[in-house]
């Protein structure tokens, strides 16, 4: 009975709980209020997902009955959950994932530093750079060749996708430079720059 896999939402919750213990309501707020859109903020998705994670032992809950505040079930990650998260984060990123599930890749990246350290994050960036460099030219060539025969809006939609990937390429370079700069101004866990927006605008 090989333990059935954790959904993407499950890993998103696991990664957030890994940052600091929180309740289902807290997590919902993260998905509604912060820039982590694209995830469901509906209770019908989150509470069952939390229950599944708890059942498999990845997280543990404790009901807090703080005075003057109503009952909250606060989750924290377990050792097993940490191991599962690390294993997920360690999966090499594939071309297919970049094409069909870029959001998942970025989610992994966002959680990576906390769970595996900055070196792992840089390694992911390097792999991402290689894959993008291999993938984007083909896309551009496709646009050159097939574009003229497409309806204008179709061609533009494709161009939008290409621009997205090109922006991502520039971001990867910037991110790698940023990690390099942070590493050279050494401390145990390095300092974070205050407003590094990469010289745009």
Nearer to DNA, 53 or 168 (CB): 53
- Mark the segment that binds a copy of itself (CB under 8 A) among 3-11, 22-30, 74-82, 142-150: 142-150
**Could you tell me the smallest distance in angstroms from the CB atom of residue 95 to DNA?**
16
In the complex, what is the shortest distance from the CB of residue 155 to DNA, in angstroms, rounded to a whole number? Answer: 25
Buried b (16+ CB within 10 A) or exposed e, 22-61: bbbeebbebbeeeebeebeeeeebbeebbebbbebebbbb
d(CA 20, CA 116): 16
Question: Nearest approach, Cβ of 109 to a copy of itself (angstroms)?
Answer: 6
**20 is a contact residue toward DNA (CB under 7 A):** no
Options 21, 36, 52, 143; binder of DNA; rule CB under 7 A:
52
Site for DNA in 74-93 (CB under 7 A): 74
Q: What is the rounded CA–CA span in Å between residue 58 and residue 138?
A: 41
Does 124 interact with DNA (rule: CB under 7 A)? Answer: no
Of 104 and 121, nearer to DNA (C-beta) is: 104
Q: Which of 2, 34, 44, 184 binds DNA (CB under 7 A)?
A: 44
Say which residue the tokens 């377990």 belong to: 78
Q: Counting contacts by CB under 8 A, is residue 109 touching a copy of itself?
A: yes
What distance in Å separates the CA atoms of residue 173 and residue 31, rounded to the nearest whole number? 28
The contact set with a copy of itself (CB under 8 A) reads 19, 34-35, 37-38, 99-101, 106-107, 109-114, 118, 121, 139-140, 142-144, 147-148, 150-161, 163-164, 166-168, 170-171, 174-175, 178-179, 182, 190, 192, 194-195, 197-198, 200-201
């Amino acid at each position: 009975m090989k333990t059935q896999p954790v959904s993407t939402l499950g890993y998103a919750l696991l990664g957030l709980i890994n940052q600091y213990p929180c309740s289902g309501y807290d997590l919902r707020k993260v998905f509604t209020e912060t820039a982590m859109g694209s995830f469901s903020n509906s209770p019908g998705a989150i509470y069952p997902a939390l229950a599944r994670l708890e059942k498999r032992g990845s997280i543990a809950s404790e009901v807090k009955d703080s005075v003057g505040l109503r009952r909250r079930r606060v989750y924290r990650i377990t050792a097993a959950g940490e191991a599962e998260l690390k294993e997920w984060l360690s999966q090499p990123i594939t071309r297919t994932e970049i094409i069909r599930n870029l959001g998942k890749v970025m989610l992994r990246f966002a959680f990576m530093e906390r769970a595996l350290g900055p070196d792992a994050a840089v390694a992911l960036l390097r792999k991402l750079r290689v894959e993008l460099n291999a993938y984007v030219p083909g896309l551009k060539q496709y646009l050159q060749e097939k574009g003229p025969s497409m309806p204008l809006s179709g061609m533009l939609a494709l161009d939008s996708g290409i621009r997205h990937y090109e922006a991502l390429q520039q971001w990867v370079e910037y991110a790698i430079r940023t990690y390099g700069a942070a590493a050279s101004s050494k401390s145990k866990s390095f300092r974070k720059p205050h407003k590094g927006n990469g010289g745009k605008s």
